[in-house]
């Protein structure tokens, strides 16, 4: 049985590692990763018995982890109807990207002003991964590497609140992408476009970096809303492409979690 967080995902949607994660922490991360990957499809119900069996956990900790994702806005709860994966409509896209822009610009300013060279080098490595992904022509891999670069930039700033908000925001970006289109689409020039962000960061050009991030995010909204130039070349694949089920998670310290 395939395992989405090991075989499919980038590091972006996961929180920073903790020394001794609880069972609920592990389930929460697994569910978030599954939403990010599209393994739990937008609008689909969370069938507690089935999901608990796939993860090898009892329904109590699963329900607690799912409630955390409700609080994050990644799952929606309806009295009498249980929980389902959230959807993000076109009408909410501009507000979502304004929130994302606020977090990324704040992190960018911090990183330019006081970030260590080693932290900035981590963003360069994320861009190298995006270049490699772009060569494959795999839309989901390119899209994941794209989001991972933005997440890496925020994480490199060293502010745990910004990192935590970004962790949720990029999953919401994926939810929005899966909601508004039947295809997962990314531009073929994604790696080249992101090179400017890395170059402005390495030059510690604060205004140039902020402008590059702002223009990129505004362009993403235009693409998702169908306002982008149709002549732009893209990679695409069906939004429901993954055929992956959840796999069992490992208990903290080797303890049984059934």
pLDDT single digits (tens) 209-245: 999 999 999 999 988 888 866 677 888 876 665 544 5
Q: What is the dihedral of CA 47, 52, 55, 60, to 10 degrees?
A: 130
| Positive or negative: CA dihedral 132, 14, 153, 101 | positive
pTM over 0.85: no
The share of the chain scoring above pLDDT 70, in percent, equals 83
Give tens-digit pLDDT for 2-24: 444 444 444 566 544 444 678 99
**pLDDT of 169 higher than 80:** yes
pLDDT of residue 232: 78
pLDDT of residue 28: 94
Q: Which helix (H) or strand (E) holds 49?
A: helix 48-55
How many angstroms separate the CA atoms of 219 and 67, rounded?
A: 33
Taking all residues of the chain, what is their mean pLDDT, rounded to a whole number?
A: 86
* Domains (range + CATH), the chain: 4-41+43-86+243-254 (1.10.10.10), 90-238 (1.20.120.530)
With contact defined as beta carbons under 8 Å apart, do 173 and 148 qualify?
no
How many angstroms separate the CA atoms of 50 and 31, rounded?
A: 13
**pLDDT of 147 higher than 90:** yes
Q: How confident is the model at residue 80 (pLDDT cuts 50, 70, 90)?
A: confident
Strand partners, 84: 45, 76
Number of H helices, E strands in the chain: 10, 4
């Amino acid at each position: 049985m395939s395992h989405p967080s090991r075989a499919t995902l980038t590091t972006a949607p996961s929180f920073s590692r903790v020394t001794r994660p609880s069972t609920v922490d592990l389930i929460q991360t697994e569910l978030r990763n599954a939403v990010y990957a599209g393994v739990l499809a937008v609008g689909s119900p969370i069938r507690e018995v089935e999901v608990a069996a796939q993860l090898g956990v009892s329904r109590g900790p699963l329900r607690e982890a799912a409630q955390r994702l409700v609080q994050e806005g990644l799952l929606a709860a309806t009295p009498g109807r249980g929980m389902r994966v959230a959807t993000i409509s076109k009408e909410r896209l501009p507000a979502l990207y304004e929130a994302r822009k606020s977090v990324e610009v704040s992190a960018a300013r911090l990183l330019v002003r006081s970030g260590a060279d080693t932290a900035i080098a981590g963003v360069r490595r994320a861009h190298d991964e995006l270049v490699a992904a772009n060569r494959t022509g795999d839309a989901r891999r390119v899209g994941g590497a794209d989001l991972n670069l933005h997440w890496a930039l925020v994480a490199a700033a060293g502010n745990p609140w910004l990192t935590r908000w970004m962790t949720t925001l990029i999953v919401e970006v994926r939810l929005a992408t899966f909601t508004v289109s039947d295809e997962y689409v990314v531009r073929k020039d994604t790696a080249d476009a992101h090179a400017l962000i890395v170059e402005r960061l390495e030059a510690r050009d604060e205004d140039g970096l902020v402008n590059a991030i702002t223009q990129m995010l505004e362009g993403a909204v235009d693409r998702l809303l169908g306002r982008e130039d149709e002549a732009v070349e893209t990679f695409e694949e069906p939004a429901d492409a993954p055929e992956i089920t959840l796999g069992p998670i490992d208990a903290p310290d080797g303890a049984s979690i059934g």
